[in-house]
């Protein structure tokens, strides 16, 4: 292992997985640094879960190489499993077992025993906020608690790398916030966290983001980098009387890259050009759509992704 | 009534669920073939082991005339009794016959002699039939010997009773003819009680029942809409059994088709009612399935007279059988198909069946109405 | 090993937690044996008899009494005319009809032959066959008695040739169906319990997502499977013990063979049922589907084609060949042989070998299918 490798928790090189004719993951490559929170984003069906399943040794890749904690997932999936924690949005707990029975079971499966198990059990119960409820049936807990308990069970063995597959689906905002606090704590403690999500606010919290669309990794970088990646474009937030009509009017224009509605305003992304503001104003005036304000803004991650998706669609259409 | 959307949806879901379709269509076919071809109690070609200690022309003649039928076949000849054990143990022979020394002497001198018959009783039914064949054969032979002997000695006495057996309805005594009509009960229970209860409970589990409840559909429209497809499938299955039974096993309906279908319809209503009651009790599909199997399929198999004669069961089971509809239904179905009777001789069965039906439908309406309008 | 132990602890905790599980595992088999022991009988008793006695003489009444005295027949209808007998048969109120003609008594006492009509409802072929045989035996016996009596009267105590069968029934002297059926029910329950629970419990893990969670742990799929299957092996053997107890103590069916052989071969049979359960789990997405598949595509054909109620010897040759592919067939032969005939391994080894081959084949095919589905 070289010094450089020591700082890398996950490497992915040309990873591909096909199911029959369908290519779920298409030649993706990236690296995840030790101790960072890596956000893996993309719409449903883009290949997020397939990738995570390959990294956890649940699914064999069709082509490419992936190492987790320096271990090749193809060659030695069993060692990978001992070094990772995994939790999915289904909170895989046994609802007919009590809180401590669940912890004891998963602890035992990971080979914890005696003092260590006792210590970790106490830690997990505390972390999940379930002190005093150790003997309650897991099925009777509410979503947020189940989620934290599932996380606790997944990291009882203190894995250096943690995979979270849409961990906050169906959980209320307060619990989501508490959950992310836990993730930061883990990350600060040196754990690498690989998390998939489609909540944009969660994506903003990640150190690095990989964006996957139709099986291809279409963007990789920190949230700020991704936003700045749109530097040849400028995004304006326009407040006007009838934003819906405005979007219709702008959509077809060749120099407009993207439009989207945000409440009483809309965002329009254009090729960077100082005269753009004037053109926008003119078009709206012509349409008798009264303009309140036009402001240049830093694009949100959502803007970035919508842009990336349409770029990718356009590229594909051209290829076809 | 606005049933069409629900009926259409139900049919689409059924046709999408390959396994359910298999159970509703493939299973009746499989059962029919099994029941028709494979399952029968006909006891034929029983292997007989003979120990002839007399070794006389008379004893040989006796063995020949006893085993000359399609029922008993002389397969083993043993020198002494010790070989019988092994043959019966391994199931190589079902009957053993021991003819003692002095057999010919008794026949000529006019003496009584005992012949030993040993029957493998493991399967009581086969054993009872086998023992019956052998006993009858021996009695028969004995009568003939006696008549000949009397004639030789100049006495002129005729056999006192001449038996004229007459078999009604199923003269060849084919098990299939009895079992095929009996299948109706089993298969119709499958496609009504189990399917209805499961499909209603599934809607409850998925939350789509909630969705239907908030739609302008009335409670009875939802229920009828869900029931109609299963009624249709059940009628189709019944017709299928009828046609295949006729083509493959020559089971034709001697009575009126109308009476038959009326009976089927009343029985289906009973099944639907039962299925709906179960769906209003069961919390999930698993429980619905268990209750359905235990309250419909099992009794339809065990306590209906489908295979096992009710008259031989303990009182308590006969009482339970009388509470359930399948028994009445099978008596009607068999009477109409095999005996060609009309409603007349089986009116009481019709009454019992209708009462159960009315009770099940009534109870289910009350329960579901309460549930759906809350 | 530790992982397997954890799985076992977890399985048993879950089984104990489920309120329905204990009754289903421990009470249902006992009820099933009792119910099936009584219900699954093809004994023919209490045969309904419709009588049309047009003679109404001491002799005709004596004949009817002979019928009822055997205990097999109960007179359920008296008809004035021969047609009346048919009506009782039509309404299924009688299985056998007997028509005694006018002049019956006069004819038989004066050495002439009288014709007796026996009518049977052939609809239920088996019952009809057995009932008609009984009726003929009774009548022929009566007839022969008359004949012998007449000869004696004529010849003053002269001997006549007569053959009387002395019938002995081996293995099951009282000819009780239960002796044959109950051991079969023991086998059936063992199959149903182990197959159903194995498939349902594996599918359940998949349904709630814990299967995936287990697979990312260092536990090997083989350990996972062992941990999931072993509890049901144990439950299966406990159920054998329970149902055996009912058979021996409630139904008074003596177990003539060795208990150890029975348990050993039950273990062999469980290999097959676990394999089937596992296979069903690999083709089912929900517990619902698993149960339905097991019930209708495994149990139904097995029950019919194993010789459980319908003798295999009576099936057409082509179907008899198929029955060799039904594992339950071999186990039924084993359990009935042990119960009724008291045979041992020296007779049962071919069946035991067949079970071993089936068990190993089915189980390993299912395990490989299970593992393939995981990848």
- In this structure, what are the phi and psi dihedrals at residue A94, rounded to the nearest 5 degrees? -85, 110
pTM of the predicted model, to two decimals?
0.77
More confident call, B81 vs C159:
B81
Rounded CA-CA distance A228/A235 in Å is 11
A259 exposure class (CB count in 10 Å sphere: 0-12, 13-18, 19+): buried
Pairing verdict, β A291-297 and B46-52: unpaired
- In this structure, what are the phi and psi dihedrals at residue C20, rounded to the nearest 5 degrees? -85, -20
Per-residue model confidence (pLDDT) at position A232: 73
CA distances from C171 to B50, B51, B91, C14, C330 (A): 19, 20, 12, 44, 19
Per-residue model confidence (pLDDT) at position C156: 53
Chain C closest-CA separation from residue B130 CA (Å)? 10
Residues C208 and A101: beta-carbon distance below 8 Å: no
Question: Cβ of C17 and A88 within 8 Å?
Answer: no
* Candidate ranges B312-316, C174-178, C329-333; pick with highest mean pLDDT: C329-333
- pLDDT tens-digit readout, B163-173: 777 666 776 66
Chain C closest-CA separation from residue A88 CA (Å)? 8
Asked whether the predicted pLDDT for residue C375 surpasses 70, the reply is no
DSSP helix, strand, coil percent of chain C (3-state; round to 5): 70, 10, 20
Asked whether the predicted pLDDT for residue C134 surpasses 70, the reply is yes
Rounded CA-CA distance A11/A65 in Å is 8
C375 in contact with A at a CB cutoff of 8 Å? yes
CATH superfamily of C47-155: abc type-2 transporter like domain (3.40.1710.10)
Asked whether the predicted pLDDT for residue C157 surpasses 60, the reply is no
The pLDDT tens digits along chain A (320 residues) read: 444 567 889 999 999 999 988 999 999 999 999 999 999 998 888 889 899 989 988 888 999 999 998 899 888 888 888 889 998 877 678 888 899 999 988 888 888 888 999 999 999 999 988 999 989 988 888 888 888 899 999 999 999 999 998 888 778 888 888 899 999 999 999 999 999 988 888 888 899 999 999 899 988 998 888 888 776 778 888 888 888 888 888 877 878 877 888 878 888 888 777 777 788 888 888 888 888 888 888 778 888 888 888 888 888 888 87
A219 exposure class (CB count in 10 Å sphere: 0-12, 13-18, 19+): buried
Give the mutation candidate from C20, C161, C342 for the B interface (greatest B CB count, under 10 A): C161
Question: Cβ of C216 and A111 within 8 Å?
Answer: no
Quick one: which of C241, C211, C208 has its CA closest to C227? C211
Q: Is the ipTM of this complex over 0.95?
A: no
More confident call, A214 vs C374:
A214
Rounded CA-CA distance C217/A105 in Å is 12
- Taken in order of first residue, the domains within chain A and their CATH numbers are 3-221 (3.40.50.300), 227-319 (3.30.70.920)
- Judging contact as 3 or more Cβ pairs under 8 Å, the answer for A and B is no
Quick one: which of A198, A210, A215, A313 has its CA closest to A19? A215
Question: Cβ of A94 and C216 within 8 Å?
Answer: no
Question: Cβ of C6 and A105 within 8 Å?
Answer: yes
Quick one: which of C159, C163, C183, C160 has its CA closest to C171? C183
Residue B18 confidence class, pLDDT cut points 50, 70, 90: confident
Listed by start position, the domains of chain C span: 9-41+176-374, 47-155
Per-residue model confidence (pLDDT) at position C147: 78
**Measured between CB atoms, which of B150, B158, B172 is closest to C113?**
B158
Place of tokens 């499958």: B190
Asked whether the predicted pLDDT for residue C329 surpasses 90, the reply is yes
Give the mutation candidate from C3, C211, C217 for the A interface (greatest A CB count, under 10 A): C217
Chain A closest-CA separation from residue C359 CA (Å)? 29
Rounded CA-CA distance B273/B270 in Å is 5
Assign A56 to helix, strand or coil.
Answer: coil
Q: Work out the percent of chain C whose per-residue pLDDT is above 90.
A: 23
Per-residue model confidence (pLDDT) at position A1: 43
Question: Cβ of C161 and B107 within 8 Å?
Answer: yes
Average pLDDT along chain B: 81
Asked whether the predicted pLDDT for residue C30 surpasses 60, the reply is yes
Per-residue model confidence (pLDDT) at position A3: 41
Least confident of B156-160, B205-209, C108-112: B156-160
- pLDDT tens-digit readout, C91-112: 778 889 999 999 888 888 877 7
Per-residue model confidence (pLDDT) at position B167: 67
> How does C224-245 read in b/e, with b if 16+ C-beta sit within 10 Å?
bbbbbbebbbebbbebbebbbe
Minimal-distance CA residue of chain C relative to B44: C314
What is the total residue count of chain C? 375
- pLDDT tens-digit readout, C258-306: 999 999 999 999 999 999 999 999 988 887 788 888 888 888 888 888 8
Per-residue model confidence (pLDDT) at position A162: 94
C280 in contact with B at a CB cutoff of 8 Å? no
Asked whether the predicted pLDDT for residue C326 surpasses 50, the reply is yes
- pLDDT tens-digit readout, C60-75: 899 999 989 888 898 9
Residues A88 and A58: beta-carbon distance below 8 Å: no
**Measured between CB atoms, which of C151, C176, C179 is closest to B155?**
C151
- Taken in order of first residue, the domains within chain B and their CATH numbers are 4-39+174-372 (no CATH), 46-152 (3.40.1710.10)
């Amino acid at each position: 292992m070289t010094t450089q490798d020591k700082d890398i928790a996950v490497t992915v090189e040309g990873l591909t997985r096909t199911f029959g004719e369908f290519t779920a993951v298409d030649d993706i490559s990236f690296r995840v640094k030790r101790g960072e929170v890596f956000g893996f984003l993309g719409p449903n069906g883009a290949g997020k879960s397939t990738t995570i399943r390959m990294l956890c040794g649940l699914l064999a890749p069709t082509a490419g190489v992936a190492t987790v904690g320096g271990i090749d997932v193809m060659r030695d999936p069993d060692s990978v499993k001992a070094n990772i924690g995994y939790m999915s949005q289904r909170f895989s707990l046994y609802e007919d077992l009590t809180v401590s029975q669940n912890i004891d079971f998963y602890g035992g499966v990971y080979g914890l025993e005696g003092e260590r198990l006792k210590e970790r059990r106490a830690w997990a119960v505390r972390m999940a906020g379930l002190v005093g409820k150790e003997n309650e049936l897991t099925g009777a807990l509410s979503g947020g608690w189940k989620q934290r308990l599932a996380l606790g069970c997944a990291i009882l063995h203190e894995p250096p790398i943690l995979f979270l597959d849409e961990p906050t689906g169906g959980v209320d905002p307060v619990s989501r916030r508490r959950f992310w606090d836990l993730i930061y704590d883990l990350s600060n403690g040196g754990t690498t966290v690989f998390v998939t999500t489609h909540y944009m606010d969660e994506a903003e919290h990640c150190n690095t983001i990989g964006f996957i669309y139709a099986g291809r990794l279409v963007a990789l970088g920190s949230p700020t980098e991704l936003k700045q990646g749109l530097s040849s474009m400028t995004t304006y937030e326009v407040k006007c009387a009838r934003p819906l009509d405005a979007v219709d009017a702008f959509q077809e224009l060749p120099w407009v890259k993207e439009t989207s509605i945000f409440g009483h305003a809309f965002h329009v992304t254009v090729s960077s050009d100082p005269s753009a503001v004037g053109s926008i104003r003119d078009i709206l005036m012509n349409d008798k759509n009264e303009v309140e304000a036009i402001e240049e803004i830093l694009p949100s991650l959502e803007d970035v992704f919508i842009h990336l998706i349409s770029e990718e669609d356009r590229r594909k259409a051209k290829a076809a | 009534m606005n049933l069409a959307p629900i009926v259409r949806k139900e049919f689409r879901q059924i046709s999408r669920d390959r396994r359910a379709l298999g159970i509703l269509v493939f299973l009746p076919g499989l059962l029919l073939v099994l029941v028709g071809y494979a399952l029968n109690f006909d006891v034929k070609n029983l292997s007989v082991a003979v120990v002839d200690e007399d070794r006389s022309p008379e004893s040989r003649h006796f063995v020949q005339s006893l085993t000359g039928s399609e029922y008993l076949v002389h397969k083993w000849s043993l020198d002494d009794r010790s070989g019988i054990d092994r043959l019966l143990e391994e199931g190589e022979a079902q009957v053993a016959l021991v003819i003692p020394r002095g057999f010919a002497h008794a026949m000529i001198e006019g003496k009584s002699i005992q012949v030993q018959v040993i029957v493998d009783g493991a399967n009581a039914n086969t054993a009872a039939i086998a023992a019956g064949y052998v006993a009858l054969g021996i009695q028969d032979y004995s009568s003939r010997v006696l008549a000949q002997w009397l004639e030789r000695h100049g006495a002129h006495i005729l056999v006192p009773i001449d038996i004229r057996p007459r078999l009604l309805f199923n003269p060849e005594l084919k098990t299939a003819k009895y079992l095929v009509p009996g299948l109706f009960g089993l298969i119709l229970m499958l496609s009504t009680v189990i399917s209805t209860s499961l499909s209603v409970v599934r809607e409850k589990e998925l939350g789509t029942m909630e969705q239907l409840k908030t739609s302008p559909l009335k409670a009875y429209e939802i229920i009828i809409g869900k029931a109609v497809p299963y009624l249709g499938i059940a009628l189709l299955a019944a017709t299928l059994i009828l046609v295949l039974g006729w083509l493959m096993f020559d089971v034709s309906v001697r009575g009126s088709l109308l009476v038959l279908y009326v009976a089927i319809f009343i029985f289906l209503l009973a099944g639907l009612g039962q299925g709906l009651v179960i769906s209003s009790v069961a919390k999930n599909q698993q429980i619905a399935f268990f209750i359905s199997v235990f309250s419909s399929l099992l009794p339809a198999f065990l306590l209906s007279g489908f295979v096992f004669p009710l008259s031989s069961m303990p009182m308590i089971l006969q009482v339970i059988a009388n509470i359930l509809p399948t028994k009445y239904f099978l008596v009607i179905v068999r009477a109409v198909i095999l005996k060609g009777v009309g409603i007349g001789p089986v009116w009481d069965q019709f009454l019992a069946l209708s009462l159960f039906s009315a009770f099940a439908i009534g109870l289910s309406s009350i329960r579901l109405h309460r549930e759906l309008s809350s | 090993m530790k992982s397997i132990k954890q799985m076992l602890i977890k399985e048993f905790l879950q089984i104990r937690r489920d309120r329905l599980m204990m009754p289903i595992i421990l009470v249902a088999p006992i009820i099933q044996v009792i119910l099936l022991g009584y219900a699954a009988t093809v004994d023919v008793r209490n045969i309904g008899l419709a009588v049309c006695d047009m003679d109404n003489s001491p002799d005709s009444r004596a004949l009817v009494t002979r019928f009822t005295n055997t205990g097999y027949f109960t007179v359920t209808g008296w008809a004035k005319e021969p047609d009346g007998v048919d009506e009782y048969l039509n309404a299924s109120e009688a299985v056998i009809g007997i028509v005694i003609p006018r002049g019956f008594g006069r004819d038989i006492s004066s050495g002439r032959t009288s014709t007796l009509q026996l009518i049977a409802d052939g609809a239920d072929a088996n019952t009809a066959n057995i009932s008609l045989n009984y009726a003929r035996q009774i009548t022929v016996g009566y007839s022969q008695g008359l004949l012998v009596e007449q000869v004696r009267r004529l010849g003053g105590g002269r001997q006549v040739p007569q053959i009387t069968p002395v019938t002995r029934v081996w293995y099951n002297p009282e000819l009780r169906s239960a002796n044959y059926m109950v051991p079969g029910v023991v086998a059936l329950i063992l199959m149903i319990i182990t197959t159903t629970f194995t498939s349902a419990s594996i599918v359940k893990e998949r349904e709630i997502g814990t299967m995936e969670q287990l697979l990312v742990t260092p536990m090997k799929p083989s350990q996972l499977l062992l941990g999931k299957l072993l509890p049901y092996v144990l439950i299966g053997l406990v159920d054998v013990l329970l149902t055996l107890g009912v058979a021996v103590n409630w139904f008074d069916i003596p177990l003539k063979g060795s208990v150890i052989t029975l348990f050993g071969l039950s273990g062999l049979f469980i290999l097959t049922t676990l394999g089937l359960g596992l296979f069903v789990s690999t083709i089912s997405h929900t517990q619902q589907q698993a149960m339905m598949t097991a019930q209708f595509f495994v149990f139904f054909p097995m029950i019919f084609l194993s010789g459980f109620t319908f003798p295999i010897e009576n099936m057409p040759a082509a179907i008899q060949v198929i029955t060799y592919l039904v594992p339950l067939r071999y186990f039924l032969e084993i359990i009935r042989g042990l119960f009724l005939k008291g045979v041992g391994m020296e007779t049962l080894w071919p069946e035991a070998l067949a079970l071993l081959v089936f068990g190993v084949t089915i189980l390993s095919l299912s395990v490989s299918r299970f593992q393939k589905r995981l990848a």
